[in-house]
Structure 1
Amino acid sequence: MTAGADVRTARAAVLLTDRPVIALTADLAADLAACAASGRVLQIVSAPHSRMTLALRSSMDGRHAQWIVADATGYYEGTTGRPMQWTGEAFTPLPDADDYASPFVTPPRIPLGTHLVLTYQTTHTPGALLGGPVERLTTLLTGAEPVGWGATEPLTHLWSQADLTDFADAALQQGRTTRLIVRGAGRRTLMASITVTAHPTIPGGLAESTVVTAGHEPHDPPPLAHLPQLVDLLVKAHPIASLVASLRPGAPDLTTEPRWTGTASPLGLAVNGDREPPANFTATRLGTPHAPVTWFPLGDGQNPEDWHRHKELLTRLHPIR
């Protein structure tokens, strides 16, 4: 059941909205869950001037949830620019379209800055507090600790590692994967998305995958020269399994318009252990002697083709035995 849907068919639940900023509210989160359970796709229809928060935009995977934009020329998918049509059952790609919808390739209304994106994986032993790595990164990137956390927007909890841990533990005891949002309150806009699951091999342990995104104004570029030092400060306090750093163009407030703004490009990869760099790669040792981490630079964050280097590095790294 998707109570918030304006149109419901066997294939889709369609929600119409005229909000200038569309957020991952509790109602929308419930609609997403209901559609996933029923096999429907949730299609959120908005005007071209609407923007999405990063938390909701990250849920628009194109399969279970789509952002449909309506304008005078028709419909298009807000995340891809594909022209769409209404079939009576769902919005589907226009079969004869051979180009992006024209509004998708118009300049953004909000001046673009840069998003620094850090994606890391780590494990937690039974009884350990969650939130340490994201708290450290938020402080390093914004100058202040996180302000709050929650499962939906607006956030409903003030920042507390203990409360976040209790929430995740309770969800996992019920067999539910935990997905949480964390926000910063410092000099830059920051949002983190945390996914916590039961660890597959550590009884009572937890596996965490987190994406931290910091928005930078054009006059405040990310401190790329200091990125290895930033990762070093993180891993000395909180060991991680891996971390990928990348850049992408985007609004400094982390909202997304239904327009093309560019794609992400890698900066570097950190992996646990003292690794020898493969041929054509360089490496820097980070961390502590007891928990070393190796940092591999991959690019300057301006060339999406550097993802091929990322893939090559992953295939050539061997696990420590």
Structure 2
Amino acid sequence: MMKDVIALTPDMPDASAVVAGLFAGGPGLDVGAGHDGAVIQLRAADGRPLVSLEAPLLVHVPGEAERLLGGDVSEPPVPYWWTEVRASTAVPEAGALAGSVAGRLTALLGGSVWPAGAATTEVVRTAEGTAQAATDDDDALTVDVLTDSTAVVLADRPLLVLTAWLSAILRKVTDAGLALHIVTPPHVRLSLPLRTALAGAPNRWVVQDPECGYYDGLSGAVLHWQNGTFTPVVDETGERSAAKVFTENAPATGRQLGVAFRVTHRPDDSLVLGRALETAWSALTGATPAGWGTAEPINLRWSKGQLTNLARERSPEPTHLLAVGHPDRPAIATHRVTRAPDGVAEDITLTLGYGEDETPPLDAIEALARTLVAEHGLTSMLVTLRRARRDLAVPPSLEAPPIPVSFTLGAEDVHTIGLDHARRPPVDLQPVPLGPTTRPALYYPLGDGTDAQAWTVLQRLHAHLRNEPAD
């Protein structure tokens, strides 16, 4: 299991600070680099990897350390440097060694170390041993267990997030045709971006449970290790069972508003991406996003220009981005930019968290749809509401499903389907035209997010719009 220690420093860890940190294990350790120099490894004399020091990240977004590490973290004023030190538990002393590396950085640069109490400046000696030597192969999978079918990562931190390291592991695993299984204790939560990245077979979030052994943190299925992978336990009739702890947790008191939409633009040298996301964010929170990035922690101040430049550099390949809100309103978005047959598409899912005594802004949704239609080329938008945690963290327990609030169909698809057909669904709702009367989009109100029958209405509406026969 990787033990993470994080140094948060006001000044950049320069070469001398890094060298001081690397001497935490004394002069007998070897140093190697990987991933084009982005990772420095401390290795035992026999080649065993002990500690990996990630490239420092300059964080400009306030509240990220508290969001990802918990309320007891001491976060310096922005901007500050975030340096992750990962220790392999294959060597018992590696955790203390990581704490000494991080402690030496903060002793020289100021700042703080997470978790509290992990920092030391003592030299940590490691036991002698024999192991297969490590390599400098950037394509090697640095995971805890690797079989013919599955890469297993063991992790333990309050909120497990889509770091640059985990994102790279996921890409390599996918390219190799393997499954990624992340194993955690039951107190761990996932961030929404990581939950999205792990969704669907063959990847899994595997939770350790003293009663049943292991279970899937997203589905609840009891799991066991068989033939080199975690697989559901089935009884003699072939039925799967759910872990008791997964279904018995008290329901969440907060709510999450989900806004999933697509906008499509004609290709243009002057095109600026991120405008539709900024519009939605402002309409629902009264502020623009606080920051954006490609992994967590999200480190860059919100900038549509920088976001656009990155997407242009990566084109024609898709670009996957994240955005986060200000600390007073939990909000996070995934943002995917792709080439579309008719131009450039932005697929955005914005999720906002509300406490028990807060009211989600459902009354702002129709006006938002109208603006996205008029100014941003809205293709479609689905808005949902559900009972879930205000902080947007994903627990390893059963959560209430989202309930549809509204669906908006863009003008182009309404025109293709036929306006007369699209505005006469076989359900008890009256669509609202948005935009020019000769070529409108249609906004379909589905409810206030409290009646699960809205899913039936939405399914019948979709079948009608696709000209499918009624059930």
Task: Using structure 2 for the length normalisation, give the TM-score.
Answer: 0.63
Within the candidate set 329, 339, 355, 1:198 is matched to 339
Residue in 2 aligned with 1:142?
A: 285
| Structure with the larger strand share | 1
Residue in 2 aligned with 1:285?
A: 433
Paired with 2:223 and 2:346, the residues of 1 have a C-alpha distance of 36
> Following TM superposition, by how much is the alpha carbon of 1:213 offset from its aligned partner in structure 2, in angstroms?
0.8
Residue in 2 aligned with 1:26?
A: 164
Is 2:229 the counterpart of 1:229?
A: no
Paired with 1:318 and 1:6, the residues of 2 have a C-alpha distance of 47
> Following TM superposition, by how much is the alpha carbon of 1:119 offset from its aligned partner in structure 2, in angstroms?
0.9
SS at match of 1:59: helix
Matching residue's letter, 1:133: A
> Following TM superposition, by how much is the alpha carbon of 1:306 offset from its aligned partner in structure 2, in angstroms?
2.2
Paired with 2:360 and 2:368, the residues of 1 have a C-alpha distance of 11
Residue in 2 aligned with 1:311?
A: 459
> Following TM superposition, by how much is the alpha carbon of 1:84 offset from its aligned partner in structure 2, in angstroms?
0.2
Is 2:268 the counterpart of 1:129?
A: no
Q: Are 2:224 and 2:230, in contact at CA under 8 Å, matched by a contact in 1?
A: yes
Matching residue's letter, 2:223: M
Q: Are 1:269 and 1:295, in contact at CA under 8 Å, matched by a contact in 2?
A: yes
Is 2:398 the counterpart of 1:260?
A: yes
Is 2:307 the counterpart of 1:169?
A: no
Structure 1 spans left out of the alignment, 5+ residues: none
Residue in 2 aligned with 1:215?
A: 353
Judging changes above 3 Å, is the alpha-carbon distance between structure 1 residues 290 and 64 closer, same or farther for their aligned structure 2 residues? Answer: farther
Paired with 2:424 and 2:409, the residues of 1 have a C-alpha distance of 11
Matching residue's letter, 1:152: A
Is 2:155 the counterpart of 1:17?
A: yes
Residue in 2 aligned with 1:102?
A: 244
Which shows bigger deviation, 164-173 or 217-226? 217-226
> Following TM superposition, by how much is the alpha carbon of 1:55 offset from its aligned partner in structure 2, in angstroms?
0.6
Judging changes above 3 Å, is the alpha-carbon distance between structure 1 residues 67 and 139 closer, same or farther for their aligned structure 2 residues? Answer: same
Paired with 2:424 and 2:377, the residues of 1 have a C-alpha distance of 20
Residue in 2 aligned with 1:294?
A: 442
Matching residue's letter, 1:154: P
Within the candidate set 30, 36, 41, 2:179 is matched to 41
Residue in 2 aligned with 1:243?
A: 381
Paired with 1:291 and 1:4, the residues of 2 have a C-alpha distance of 54
Paired with 1:2 and 1:133, the residues of 2 have a C-alpha distance of 39
Deviations 1:112-137 (A, max 9, x none): 31111111111122221110110011
SS at match of 1:116: strand
Judging changes above 3 Å, is the alpha-carbon distance between structure 1 residues 19 and 232 closer, same or farther for their aligned structure 2 residues? Answer: same
> Following TM superposition, by how much is the alpha carbon of 1:290 offset from its aligned partner in structure 2, in angstroms?
7.9
SS at match of 2:378: coil
Matching residue's letter, 2:424: P
Q: Are 1:118 and 1:244, in contact at CA under 8 Å, matched by a contact in 2?
A: yes
- Tell me the number of residue pairs that the alignment of Structure 1 and Structure 2 aligns: 313
Structure 2 spans left out of the alignment, 5+ residues: 1-138
Q: Are 2:234 and 2:241, in contact at CA under 8 Å, matched by a contact in 1?
A: no
> Following TM superposition, by how much is the alpha carbon of 1:286 offset from its aligned partner in structure 2, in angstroms?
2.4
Is 2:238 the counterpart of 1:91?
A: no
Q: Are 1:244 and 1:270, in contact at CA under 8 Å, matched by a contact in 2?
A: yes
Q: Are 1:143 and 1:187, in contact at CA under 8 Å, matched by a contact in 2?
A: no
> Following TM superposition, by how much is the alpha carbon of 1:299 offset from its aligned partner in structure 2, in angstroms?
2.8
Matching residue's letter, 2:361: P
